[in-house]
């Protein structure tokens, strides 16, 4: 049985693909996404968009909750390149009539390499409330515009997972992994196969003694589900 742990707000595509693939699955969200009022210090940054070499969106939620703050101001300045962390985020921007590019790998490392390749010196990142990993792996001057918060979901029904003979759990973030660790015993980990969206998640899962940690080819839904399907056969 495949367990989709994505928050309800961005789970539809994953659930629809699971249905199309005729997979046995349950949706047990580990987190929820809440809109965050950006601090005044962040809003002021948008008055000087022309100072930036690029604007960066780190997730679909960053587009959903951040676009209303920058869209009008962006229309009043010369074109500034926009970077989306992945195809889903790019699609969200496309639906708003906003073009963007994606890095070769859909993660912070990919964005960092793209920044270096283009020699961008100053960028602004639309992101969640936690400081993005990008800040620690690029030499560019990065400002952040936090516009949403990923919160632990309360009253998660872990009984649904624990009663399964074997579960294949889709883990997209470190936060979701930490929630799982807090709610399963070491002996229960042996019945779990993790499908990890990044190498960073896979390494952390291994440190927690999960033995079956599969790294998906990429964080794309199709690659996550391809890895899950192989393990379920």
Domains annotated for the chain, with CATH where assigned, are: 2-30+154-232 (3.40.50.10090), 35-151 (3.40.50.10090)
Is residue 78's pLDDT more than 70?
Answer: no
pLDDT at 215: 96
> Average of pLDDT values for 168-194?
93
The pLDDT, as a whole number, for residue 76 is 75
Kindly report which listed range (30-34, 41-45, 67-71, 119-123) carries the lowest average pLDDT score: 67-71
% of the chain exceeding 90 in pLDDT:
82
Distance of alpha carbon 64 from alpha carbon 147, whole angstroms: 9
- Report pLDDT for 5: 97
The pLDDT of 157-170, averaged and rounded, is 91
* Buried/exposed code over 203-221 (b: 16+ C-beta within 10 A; e: otherwise): ebbeeeebebbbbbebbeb
The structure's pTM equals 0.90
Residues 6+ away with beta carbon under 8 Å from 159: none
With cut-offs at 50, 70 and 90, classify the pLDDT of residue 227. very high
pLDDT (average), residues 109-118: 97
pLDDT digits (tens, 9 = 90+) for 122-152: 999 999 999 999 999 999 999 999 999 999 9
Average pLDDT, the chain: 93
């Amino acid at each position: 049985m495949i367990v989709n742990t994505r928050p309800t707000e961005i789970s539809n595509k994953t659930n629809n693909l699971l249905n199309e693939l005729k997979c046995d699955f349950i949706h047990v969200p580990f987190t929820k996404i809440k809109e965050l009022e950006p601090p005044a210090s962040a809003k002021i940054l948008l008055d000087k968009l022309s100072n930036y070499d690029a604007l960066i969106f780190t997730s679909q939620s960053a587009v959903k909750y951040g676009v209303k703050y920058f869209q009008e101001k962006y229309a009043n300045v010369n074109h500034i390149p926009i970077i989306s962390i992945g195809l889903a985020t790019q699609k969200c921007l496309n639906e708003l009539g906003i073009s963007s590019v994606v890095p070769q790998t859909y993660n912070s490392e990919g964005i960092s390499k793209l920044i270096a390749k283009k020699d961008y010196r100053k960028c602004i990142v639309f992101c969640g409330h936690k400081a993005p990993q990008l800040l620690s792996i690029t030499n560019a001057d990065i400002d952040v515009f936090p516009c949403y918060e990923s919160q632990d979901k309360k009253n998660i029904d872990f009984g649904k997972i624990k009663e399964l003979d074997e579960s294949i759990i889709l883990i997209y973030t470190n936060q979701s992994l930490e929630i799982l660790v807090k709610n399963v015993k070491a002996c229960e980990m042996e019945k779990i196969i993790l499908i990890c969206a990044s190498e960073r998640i896979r390494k952390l899962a291994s440190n927690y003694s999960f033995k079956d940690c599969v790294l998906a080819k990429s964080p794309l839904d199709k690659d996550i589900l391809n890895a899950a399907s192989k393990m379920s056969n």
